[in-house]
Amino acid sequence: MKTLNNAMTSTPQRLFSVASAAAMWSFSLLRSRLGRAGLAALAAALLWSPGAQGQRTTDLRLNELMVINSANYEDDFGERSAWIEIFNTSYGTVNIGGCYLSDDLNNLKKYPIPKGDVLTSIKPRQHVIFWADNKPTHGTFHLNFTIDDTRFLVLTSSDGHTIIDSLTYPEQAADVSYGRSEDGVGEWHFCERTTPSTNNTLVQLEAASDRFKNYDPLGIAMTITAMSVVFLALISLFLIFKYVGKTALWVIALRGRRIIPKGSPAQVTVSVEKQQPSPGAVFAAIACALRRYELEMSELESNILTINKVAKAYSPWNSKIYTLREIPRKK
């Protein structure tokens, strides 16, 4: 039992030693191949790769807010209150948990965003909404302050003193949001429409059929295009069938052609074979001979008259004369 315990205890140590030896060997191999400058470049590339940049909270931006929400967006409790939108400008997922939101420059840690909530992970180029309703008991995204009178907002990193983004906004009108012209960048302005949890700039795409209708209201271009497609397809099929057949015949003839020197026995054999009639002519001659033979046989048979006597037993019971009646005569 003691031996088994010692073996079980030493197994993780052996695995750790093997992994350490493999890591040291890999590092020495890279150093011998790349050198110090190459290792430094590789480390810089790894640090500045999208995967390494995925958890940088400095990519977060205040994107849009609404101070007076009387008949607009509702939270999960069906209540309307001021809301703040934060946008992830990076192409990696950023967890905002551990950062701080505040409306007081002297108190940057006014609302610590809880850690451990799966919803605090903001996907690439996506948004998250915080409600400034002074009801932190409603959940992670409900702040412990309001922004009705302060006109200032600041987002701080998890160290508590590095400001990621801040905003001083003017007096707000009811149900009008204040946001950037484009997500994460651009100047702040009053938005024509509120866009919580979506892009600030909504591109209204016109349908292709509507655009074509504007360009060609009478349908002339559509008619010409359709007819051109049909005729071009027919011409293409004609050319394909014509030249593909000729090409196939040429290839077959080229493969069947044999190069034979003059005067050789093979050439004489080929010339004799060419003089022989084709199988089609032979079959036609045989068919004509068979038809002629058939006609001659039918002419001979037409000159013979064959009469055979048929014996028939007579009985008065099957005679028709006994069944006939005389027609009554008039007197």
Taking the whole predicted model, whether its pTM rises above 0.75 is answered as no
Weakest-pLDDT range from 10-14, 122-126, 131-135: 10-14
| Cα–Cα distance for residue pair 133/120, rounded to 1 Å | 18
Look at residues 176, 172, 198 and name the one whose alpha carbon lies nearest to residue 71. 176
Look at residues 152, 198, 165, 185 and name the one whose alpha carbon lies nearest to residue 96. 165
| Confidence class for position 183, pLDDT limits 50, 70, 90 | very high
| pLDDT for residue 94 | 94
Domain 57-190 is found in CATH 1.20.140: no
Provide the β-strand partners of residue 168. Answer: 152
| Cα–Cα distance for residue pair 44/210, rounded to 1 Å | 51
| Cα–Cα distance for residue pair 92/219, rounded to 1 Å | 48
pLDDT of 324 higher than 60? no
| Confidence class for position 128, pLDDT limits 50, 70, 90 | very high
Q: Order of strands across the sheet with 152-156?
A: 111-112, 100-102, 152-156, 163-168
Q: Check if the beta carbon of residue 101 is closer than 8 Å to that of residue 153.
A: yes
Weakest-pLDDT range from 47-56, 140-149, 210-219: 47-56
| Confidence class for position 33, pLDDT limits 50, 70, 90 | low
Give the position of tokens 């429409």. Answer: 193
- Across the chain, mean pLDDT equals 78
| pLDDT for residue 250 | 82
pLDDT of 4 higher than 50? no
Q: Over range 76-82, report the average pLDDT.
A: 93
| Confidence class for position 281, pLDDT limits 50, 70, 90 | confident
Look at residues 226, 228, 243, 100 and name the one whose alpha carbon lies nearest to residue 164. 100
pLDDT of 99 higher than 80? yes
| pLDDT for residue 209 | 75
| pLDDT for residue 214 | 81
Q: Check if the beta carbon of residue 57 is closer than 8 Å to that of residue 99.
A: yes
pLDDT of 264 higher than 60? no
Q: H helices within the chain, ranges in order?
A: 2-47, 208-215, 220-256, 265-275, 279-302
| Cα–Cα distance for residue pair 235/230, rounded to 1 Å | 9
Weakest-pLDDT range from 39-48, 166-175, 235-244: 39-48
| pLDDT for residue 50 | 45
